[in-house]
Chains A and B, each alone.
Chain A
């Protein structure tokens, strides 16, 4: 029977089925400092050992400072943050888990370093105690976020109980316009189907716009699948995937490489495979996207306006619009490009890879950020992305334009470290969530692409390139 990519990936990992629940084998677990301490504590209390140490890779990313940190963990000034990173160090040592530590040049955001190191590969089942684990689906892997109880379950048993998701095909055809990126497709898609639009579904992205998209772009798109509520977001393996994976530190070599490639080439939906739902998107219609409210589905074209709750028929939606506009201090029918911003954040597991930085640098080159901008941060996704960007002179372009060039980490995406917005500050951010207080209590977030973030920093307000 013709199978979807998701069916194939699930099928390859089924250990046992009972009463509609499926026990699947997990090939790789990524671990970070925030959602793992209680899982390790569970192991200690039960006296259990990790099932297969080598299945795991840990890295601290959420709490790490992006400023000078050559003194290692002691550079973290907040004692509570520091304890969390120290706890990860201690747990990895006790349980013999491979960790890339804070001052290792390979350190970075867990979803950036997984693919970068070849630790996450096509066909793998991959979990992490982090919702943006969907990122790794860009490589044709089965990858999703889990809670801490499940982190402990995977650590201890090597497996996880799952119920099968339905299949959703999102086909994006046509050429993207100038300065339009995967981020704009992601936000546009969420605007169309809503933040619960894909709940219960495994999304497979396909179509000419996806075929033409780089692997890093696909990661941005799959990353934000969770913002539509999806279980996973995936793209079939093609030649680009295989070229991307080739030669990375953890990528197989020799005979194993040949075997792997032969298998990876089967990782696509079969002709005629059944999808429960299909959505078609015309890429040529997509303009740069900007969120106006407090949910990623509250999104419009950059040349659009904030909505008017009076014009909304659904009372629950109208109330959501009112609450969001009230929180974010904007009036109905406000032109998006008239909205002044205080800070700019270029980074996060959504948009901190080298291609993102190249795009932003191209926009910033030879220009200066507006003098009303209090802070414009560029936070590379990993130490290796940072190194590459510096080799290309991107750091110089950013600093010449008035941006700050920082050390890698999650940074202002969720403000668990010192990088945050103050009350009442407004930010153009390349991250993934614009929830109330996400970047700092009482702050306002507008999600955008790297190109729009850079252009907005220069203009001082939300702006097209």
Chain B
């Protein structure tokens, strides 16, 4: 997995609450059996004026000039700034795959849906929870911000905001550790648990 230590970037302000994973990546793109290439279809229905389908040449599609992702002043932003309950709905990991493929490495919001939040960490994306007041302030702020995962901080020119993150998730993200490899270190422990478990619940 890609490591995350620190990041300096402008933010992409997506001012909307309750953005669901269907909006992040619509279902027709879930038919892919690959893990990459979802970036051009991130927020497809908001980003383009036509109906998107798998296999289209996205560079030739009419873009929606009113949608923030198409605003040239935010080009290259690696931090998505948005409102509460981001990533609700479907468990599709295609949502963080699309965000990562587009170029986002961090997302700041007042809250996230549980499965989406979890999926971000598996893909080297840092989801940051900050209060609605701080998020309001960041929406009003122009310029680059600096995210430091070790310090658990978000810095603007005038302010430093600290955020919470589970120690274990932080360790894995900073070191780019592979979850499966880590878990398999405990293979013997899992085996012995399993033996006891099936003894206790023999019908399983």
Residues 40 to 83 of chain A near chain B (Cβ within 8 Å): 41-42, 46, 48, 51-52, 62-63, 78, 80-81, 83
Pairwise interchain contact B34-A23, C-beta atoms closer than 8 A? no
Q: CA A156 – CA B184 in complex, angstroms?
A: 9
* B140 cross-chain contacts in A, Cβ below 8 A: none
* B22 cross-chain contacts in A, Cβ below 8 A: 414, 433, 435-438
**Residue on A with the closest CB to B117?**
A199
**Residue on B with the closest CB to A254?**
B203
Q: CA A148 – CA B119 in complex, angstroms?
A: 8
Q: Please give the distance in Å from B47's CB to the nearest CB on chain A.
A: 12
* A62 cross-chain contacts in B, Cβ below 8 A: 30
Counting CB contacts under 8 A, is B113 at the interface? yes
* A131 cross-chain contacts in B, Cβ below 8 A: 89-91, 115
Pairwise interchain contact A152-B180, C-beta atoms closer than 8 A? yes
Pairwise interchain contact A23-B183, C-beta atoms closer than 8 A? yes
Q: CA A146 – CA B122 in complex, angstroms?
A: 11
Pairwise interchain contact A200-B114, C-beta atoms closer than 8 A? yes
Pairwise interchain contact B18-A21, C-beta atoms closer than 8 A? no
Pairwise interchain contact A441-B26, C-beta atoms closer than 8 A? yes
Q: CA A23 – CA B171 in complex, angstroms?
A: 16
Partner of A229, one of B35, B85, B183: B85
Counting CB contacts under 8 A, is A316 at the interface? yes
Report how many residues on chain A are interfacial, defined by Cβ distance under 8 Å: 78
Question: Given A147-B115, A229-B114, does the pair A153, B33 have CB atoms closer than 8 Å?
Answer: no
* A63 cross-chain contacts in B, Cβ below 8 A: 31
**Residue on B with the closest CB to A423?**
B51
Q: Which stretch (B4-12, B149-157, B186-194) binds chain A?
A: B186-194
Pairwise interchain contact B27-A415, C-beta atoms closer than 8 A? yes
Question: Given A149-B122, A196-B85, does the pair A320, B17 have CB atoms closer than 8 Å?
Answer: yes
Pairwise interchain contact B93-A35, C-beta atoms closer than 8 A? yes
Pairwise interchain contact A41-B33, C-beta atoms closer than 8 A? yes
Residue of B28, B91, B96, B189 contacting most chain A CB atoms (<10 Å): B91
* B204 cross-chain contacts in A, Cβ below 8 A: 27, 124
Q: CA A214 – CA B84 in complex, angstroms?
A: 35
Question: Given A15-B189, A146-B115, A316-B83, does the pair A437, B45 have CB atoms closer than 8 Å?
Answer: yes
Residues 107 to 132 of chain B near chain A (Cβ within 8 Å): 111, 113-115, 118-119, 122-123
Counting CB contacts under 8 A, is A355 at the interface? no
Counting CB contacts under 8 A, is A19 at the interface? yes
Question: Given A19-B168, A435-B89, does the pair A259, B203 have CB atoms closer than 8 Å?
Answer: yes
Report how many residues on chain B are interfacial, defined by Cβ distance under 8 Å: 58
Counting CB contacts under 8 A, is A84 at the interface? yes
Counting CB contacts under 8 A, is A456 at the interface? no
Q: Please give the distance in Å from A79's CB to the nearest CB on chain B.
A: 9
Q: Please give the distance in Å from B84's CB to the nearest CB on chain A.
A: 6
Counting CB contacts under 8 A, is B75 at the interface? no
Q: Mask for A224-259, Cβ within 8 A of B = 1, else 0?
A: 000001010000000000000000000010001101
Q: Please give the distance in Å from A125's CB to the nearest CB on chain B.
A: 10
**Residue on A with the closest CB to B22?**
A435
* A46 cross-chain contacts in B, Cβ below 8 A: 180
Counting CB contacts under 8 A, is A123 at the interface? yes
Residue of B114, B119, B166 contacting most chain A CB atoms (<10 Å): B114
* A163 cross-chain contacts in B, Cβ below 8 A: 166
Pairwise interchain contact A436-B111, C-beta atoms closer than 8 A? no
Question: Given A21-B166, A34-B30, does the pair A259, B202 have CB atoms closer than 8 Å?
Answer: yes
Counting CB contacts under 8 A, is A37 at the interface? yes
Q: CA A65 – CA B30 in complex, angstroms?
A: 16
Pairwise interchain contact B26-A437, C-beta atoms closer than 8 A? yes
Counting CB contacts under 8 A, is A20 at the interface? yes
Counting CB contacts under 8 A, is B144 at the interface? no
Q: CA A295 – CA B89 in complex, angstroms?
A: 9
Question: Given A48-B180, A147-B118, does the pair A435, B30 have CB atoms closer than 8 Å?
Answer: no
Residue of B92, B171, B203 contacting most chain A CB atoms (<10 Å): B203
Question: Given A129-B91, A159-B190, does the pair A153, B180 have CB atoms closer than 8 Å?
Answer: yes
**Residue on B with the closest CB to A81?**
B31
Pairwise interchain contact B23-A37, C-beta atoms closer than 8 A? no
* A157 cross-chain contacts in B, Cβ below 8 A: 180, 183-184, 187, 190
Partner of A35, one of B55, B91, B168, B202: B91
Counting CB contacts under 8 A, is B32 at the interface? yes
Counting CB contacts under 8 A, is A330 at the interface? no
* A21 cross-chain contacts in B, Cβ below 8 A: 166, 168-169
Q: CA A295 – CA B84 in complex, angstroms?
A: 13
Q: Please give the distance in Å from B56's CB to the nearest CB on chain A.
A: 12
* B122 cross-chain contacts in A, Cβ below 8 A: 147, 149-150
**Residue on B with the closest CB to A133?**
B91
* B45 cross-chain contacts in A, Cβ below 8 A: 436-437, 441-442
Pairwise interchain contact A323-B115, C-beta atoms closer than 8 A? no
Partner of B113, one of A48, A52, A199, A433: A199
Q: CA A51 – CA B89 in complex, angstroms?
A: 29
Pairwise interchain contact B88-A231, C-beta atoms closer than 8 A? no
Residue of A15, A42, A78, A260 contacting most chain B CB atoms (<10 Å): A15
Q: CA A398 – CA B118 in complex, angstroms?
A: 43
Q: Please give the distance in Å from B86's CB to the nearest CB on chain A.
A: 10
Partner of B186, one of A23, A84, A145: A23
Counting CB contacts under 8 A, is B197 at the interface? yes
Pairwise interchain contact A416-B28, C-beta atoms closer than 8 A? yes
Q: CA A150 – CA B123 in complex, angstroms?
A: 11
Partner of B203, one of A260, A297, A433, A438: A260
19 pairs, A vs B, C-beta closer than 8 Å: A15-B190, A23-B190, A27-B204, A35-B91, A38-B34, A51-B190, A129-B91, A130-B90, A131-B89, A147-B115, A150-B118, A152-B180, A158-B194, A159-B183, A196-B88, A199-B85, A229-B113, A433-B90, A441-B26
Residues of B within 8 A of A (CB): 16-18, 20, 22-23, 26-28, 30-35, 45, 51-52, 54-55, 83-85, 88-93, 96, 111, 113-115, 118-119, 122-123, 166-169, 171, 179-180, 183-184, 186-187, 189-190, 193-194, 197, 201-204
